[in-house]
Amino acid sequence: MQYGSGWYYTDWAYSFNDTGDYRLFTYYGGKSAKKTKRQCAQIFDVSVSGDASDADASIVPYSYNTGMVNYYRKIPVKKLRTTSLPDYRVYKKDTFGSGLGAESWASSGISFFSNDYAWITYGYSADGQYHDLAEGTYRICFPEKVSKSRNHVKRYIFSVSGDEENADISINYSSTKYYYRKVLVPGLKTDNIPNMRLVKKANFVSGFSEEAWTGGSYHVENGFIYILYGYRTSFNNTYYDVGTGNYRLFIYK
């Protein structure tokens, strides 16, 4: 686990932002109540690469930065449904030259979903200059076979709205103020967090016409999750809407 970093300019400087207390929860996977014989019932191994000219989708994701374009690779995943998202894990093969062993894999993710397809960001352009972001070898693991109907135990559907005046909680950290919406999830416990996944309907500025859903982040409190929907940074004294919209929370067991 990475707990810090160092960088060199005229001398070495270090940051240890990720030291602290952790909890690791393990699950059987999917919505089954019994342990499976295999860790992955279905595995997709894919290689993701490309440049600015051959993307399966190129998207301007932010209205406040129209000079930025993200490039995506389209991966067929039969029976994948955004209304009944199956439990999954994604790993990316380590590309470090040395230091972590002969072969290692890092936890990764899917950038967004549409029915029957997963999409992974592999690069981006900023003001016309292309940059490799996440090219490499990926492994998508489904603990249970994806079904045509229900792949979850519970599903919560809700929307998040707000501005700087009506947050349920706001937090100042360094030069930025963050705004959160508090959402009820009955029975949620911080010492027994269920296997769950939060997704948000994607609101791309341009470049993608299908309905798509992307991953969402949250903080957990007993009985509630907190969703970051906006922040203001003193760097340019600008407020950014980063999380308002429609959400689905899937609980697998």
For the chain, give every domain's residue range. 28-142, 154-251
C-alpha–C-alpha distance, residues 197 and 152, integer Å: 10
Span 109-120, pLDDT tens digits: 899 989 999 999
* Residues in contact with 209: Cβ distance below 8 Å, sequence separation at least 6, in sequence order: none
Q: Is the pLDDT of residue 95 over 90?
A: no
Least confident interval from 5-9, 48-52, 72-76, 209-213: 5-9
What is the average pLDDT across 157-177? 95
Decide: 203 and 249 in contact? Cβ < 8 Å: no
Q: Report helix, strand or coil for 59.
A: strand
Q: Report helix, strand or coil for 122.
A: strand
pLDDT of residue 104: 80
What is the average pLDDT across 194-223? 89
The phi and psi torsions of 146 (rounded to 5 degrees) equal: -70, 130
- In this prediction, residue 66 has a pLDDT band, given cuts at 50, 70 and 90, of confident
Nearest to 123 by CA among 76, 72, 75: 72
The predicted model scores a pTM of: 0.84
What is the average pLDDT across 73-96? 87
C-alpha–C-alpha distance, residues 195 and 209, integer Å: 31
Span 6-44, pLDDT tens digits: 877 777 888 888 888 888 777 767 777 666 666 788 888
pLDDT of residue 209: 81
The phi and psi torsions of 100 (rounded to 5 degrees) equal: -120, 10
* Residues in contact with 114: Cβ distance below 8 Å, sequence separation at least 6, in sequence order: 82, 210, 211, 212, 213
pLDDT of residue 33: 63
Q: Is 175 left (phi over 0), alpha (psi -120 to 50) or beta?
A: alpha
- In this prediction, residue 101 has a pLDDT band, given cuts at 50, 70 and 90, of low
Q: Is the pLDDT of residue 232 over 70?
A: yes
What is the average pLDDT across 80-105? 80
Q: Is the pLDDT of residue 231 over 70?
A: yes
- In this prediction, residue 234 has a pLDDT band, given cuts at 50, 70 and 90, of confident
